[in-house]
Amino acid sequence: MWNYRLLKLKDGLNRPLDEVYEVYYDDNDQPRAWAESHNLLAAETREELKETYEYMVTAFEQPILKIVENKLVEADEECGEGNK
């Protein structure tokens, strides 16, 4: 299973950055991997593009994730806000 989620990252100048990513889950519904694609809004038709956009909006209804030691965790869980 996968969906769109917000990931809390840092840009090349070490400034906080939130991005929308495709996140993939294991059999226990835990986030395990993410796709580093920066062409998320592309489709063959306008209707498909709209459906993708509407699906992406659901990412804002879920906790923000963060990458810690190459694993995904909720940003407000054990790691607090921002990257360390």
| pLDDT tens-place string over residues 32-44 | 999 977 666 777 8
Q: Can you give the pTM of this predicted structure?
A: 0.71
Note the maximum CA span of the chain. 41
β-strand partners of 3 = 23
The type of residue at 67 is: I
pLDDT band at 24 (very low <50, low <70, confident <90, very high): very high
Measured between alpha carbons, how far is 1 from 72 in angstroms, rounded to an integer?
Answer: 15
Over residues 44-80, the pLDDT tens digits come to 888 998 998 999 999 999 999 999 999 999 997 444 4
